[in-house]
Amino acid sequence: MAKLILLRHFKSQWNLENRFTGWTDVPVSLEGKEKVEEIADKIAGIKIDVAYTSPLIRNMESCLLLLRRGERYPIFKHFKSKMEKWGNFKELNGKYLPVFVNENLNERYYGELQGFDKAEVMAKYGEKLVHLWRRSFKKAPPKGESLADVVKRVKPLFKNIEKDLLQGKNVLVVASHNSLRALIKEIEKISDDDIINLEVPYAGLTQYEFERGVYKKINSY
C-alpha cells in the first residue's frame, strides 16, 4: 500500500514577520529549522521513493533539510514533464532520492499584498475581506490568485503524483499553504464552501494511505 505525505514548509523569515509572502523567495527562518528533527522523527519509518516540491527556496530548503536528516541525498530535477531525462544519471541507488521541482506547487500569488504586514492589510481592508482573500475558494486578492486558480494549476501535477502512487511508490510533497490546500481539496473532495475552514500549520504534516485509487487519511499534525 502506497503512502502520500504532505508537508507544509518550515516557517520562513517572512512568516515569522507576519508578511504576505506568496511568490517572494524567502528562506526558512532559524525558528523554522528547529522543527526539522521533530518532523523527521514522525516519518522515520517510511521509505520515501520520490518527492515533489516547488522552486521557492523555502520549499526546496525544507525538503532538503528533512531528507538529509534521514541520510538521504535529494537530486533536484526542475521539470515541465517527467518525460525529461535525468541528466547523466542512468540509475539512482538507494541513498539518492529524486525530487521533482515544479512551479505548479508554488504558493498562491498574493498580487498587490505581497511583502506587506498582514495586520496592516487587515486594518486597511477589513478582517472579513482579507480572510476571504486568504481562505475562500473563488475570492482573489488584488491582482493575485484565488484558490480556484491554484487548484487549476495543481491538478496536472496531481496526476503525476497519482501515477507514482499507483506504482506503489511512497511520495513526499513539500509545498506551500495554498498549494497543499488545493491538493487536500482534490484528495478529500472538500466542497468549495467548506474549504475556507481548512488550515495547514507551518511544518504541518498530513499522511494518507493509497490503494486502488482510494485515499485513506492516517493522521494530520
Spot the catalytic one: 9, 61, 145, 162.
9
pLDDT > 90 fraction of the chain, expressed in percent and rounded: 82
Residue 96: exposed, middle, or buried by beta-carbon count in 10 A (0-12, 13-18, 19+)?
middle
CB 139 within 8 A of CB 146: yes
| pLDDT, the chain, mean | 91
Please compute the mean of the pLDDT values over residues 70-80 and round it to a whole number. Answer: 79
Taking the alpha carbons at both ends of the chain, their separation in whole angstroms is 21
Closest CA to 176 of 49, 59, 37: 59
Lowest average pLDDT, out of 14-18, 133-137, 191-195, 211-215, goes to 211-215
Q: How confident is the model at residue 142 (pLDDT cuts 50, 70, 90)?
A: very high
* pLDDT score at 75: 87
Q: Which residue has the higher pLDDT, 75 or 88?
A: 75
Alpha-carbon gap, residue 103 to 59, rounded angstroms: 11
pLDDT at 88: 52
> Of all residues in the chain, what percent carry a pLDDT higher than 70?
93
Contact 13, 213 (CB under 8 A): no
Q: What is the mean pLDDT of residues 183-190?
A: 96
Catalytic one among 61, 107, 145, 162?
107
The pLDDT of residue 82? 52
How confident is the model over 87-139, as pLDDT tens digits?
Answer: 555 556 667 888 999 999 999 999 999 999 999 999 999 999 999 999 999 99
Q: 3.40.50.1820, 3.40.50.300, 3.40.50.1240, 1.10.1670.10: which CATH number matches 2-220?
A: 3.40.50.1240
99: enclosing H helix or E strand: strand 96-101
Provide the whole-model pTM.
Answer: 0.92
Q: Is 107 a catalytic residue?
A: yes
Q: Where are the domains of the chain?
A: 2-220
pLDDT in tens, 151-179: 999 999 999 999 999 999 999 999 999 99
Rounded to 5 degrees, what are φ and ψ at 80?
-105, -25
